[in-house]
Chain A
Amino acid sequence: MTRLDGLLRVAEDRFLHGHLLSRWITDYVDLEESLAVGSISQEELAHAATLMEFAGLDDEGRDAFIFERPVQAWQPTALVVHRLDDWPATVLRGYLLASVGEVGSVLLSHARRPELQSAGQVIAAEQRLHVTHWERWVSMLGQDQRTGDELRARAAKVLPLATDVFGSPAFDQANGEAAHAAWVDSVSGPLTAVGVSVDALGRIPAPRGELAGSDLADILGEIQSLRVGAGDGVRGLYR
């Protein structure tokens, strides 16, 4: 595995998260939240595209990477291969992944290539805004007696899915462990404040495992249908 493989594994995570978030643009909590989620979704896709570009994929390569690889070739975190359709789970996943994005991108800012350092700084700053957004939601849902129990119940399901976010074999083990520890530290305060223990995240990254039983095949089928759907003049744009 190479460092470029590591960029592609992160790109998979960001792309799938951006796609999963996009449903909230229309099925939304309120108008302002729709704007926020729409922007975050767009930025996740853009971060994925940027990482793919730095991994050496041109326009055609990026297209093939997303639309033409079989499901078995994908190695994303378990956090983005389940739909988690309810809002509290979406908030928790968004918060965990934005924090991963910020911490992981800070690592990029120490890369040897100056342009990759610069990209790391930009992505980290943009992810910081996402962290702020989701953290506010965690606090609101967790502190409200009408929604707090539901948030904590969903956290018990969502946090175990996040143990492998830095666990790809494409990541340098020492860097992965350091990033994992930094990430757990960064989310510990806000989650603990609403009664969510971060013990389930572990102290070292879990290896990314088999994705059998996940929704990944279904999610990718949905994404890839954009290119093979009916010739309605809209989907055709994506071919």
Chain B
Amino acid sequence: MSDLQDRVRAAVATVEDPEVPITLQDLGVVRDVRVTGGQARVVLRPTRLACPARGEMARRVHEAVRSVAPDVDVEVDWEIATWRGSDVSGRGTQVLLQIGYADPGVGASTACPFCGSPDVRSEGAFGGSVCKVPFSCRSCGSTYDALKGSTAAAAAIGGTRG
């Protein structure tokens, strides 16, 4: 792998999601980064097709690549394929739990990320943004979200995902 490609990949790996404080890499949105000649191609997969942050994500990726490779042309391609909670990295899962999201992992429960109680209630299939499913905890009273595409969200809205 070239030094340039290493630098570009490292830069893209630092780009944060505009809404959730987690990197796009850890969220499983970054699917591929390749540098060929003077061209960098970054493939992203949205968590939902209607994610309103796609434009800002692409802008941040462009900015990150240019910060380490100003002469490289950047192409951001959106891969229209199913995003799953299992695409979140182990580190990403820890970040999500720390900031109050349900565990996105395969087979994970809907347990409250604040107190760990399984005594929680689904608040419907639609939340404050298209990728979120709201829950509330009967034990500690906290409200929190699961990401659509995770097992926890599927438990609330039906279907099997992971």
Partner of A42, one of B50, B123, B127: B50
The number of residues on chain B lying at the interface, defined by a beta carbon within 8 Å of a beta carbon of chain A, is: 20
Partner of B82, one of A39, A125, A133: A125
A interface, CB within 8 angstroms of B = 32, 35-36, 38-40, 42-43, 45-47, 50, 115, 118-119, 121-123, 125-126, 128-129, 132-133
Partner of A36, one of B50, B125, B129: B125
B124 at the A interface (CB under 8 A): yes
30 contacts between A and B (CB under 8 A): A32-B126, A35-B126, A36-B124, A36-B126, A38-B126, A39-B50, A39-B127, A39-B130, A40-B126, A42-B50, A42-B130, A43-B48, A46-B48, A46-B49, A46-B50, A50-B49, A50-B80, A115-B80, A118-B79, A118-B80, A118-B81, A118-B82, A122-B81, A123-B49, A126-B49, A128-B159, A129-B125, A129-B148, A133-B125, A133-B126
Q: Are A32 and B80 in contact (CB under 8 A)?
A: no
Q: Are A122 and B126 in contact (CB under 8 A)?
A: no
Q: If A39-B50, A46-B49, A129-B157 touch, does A121 touch B128 (CB 8 Å cutoff)? A: no
User: Interface residues of B: mostly helix, strand, loop or mixed?
Assistant: loop
CB distance from B143 to the nearest CB of A (A): 13
In the complex, A129→B159 CA distance in Å? 9
In the complex, A129→B80 CA distance in Å? 18
Q: Are B125 and A132 in contact (CB under 8 A)?
A: yes
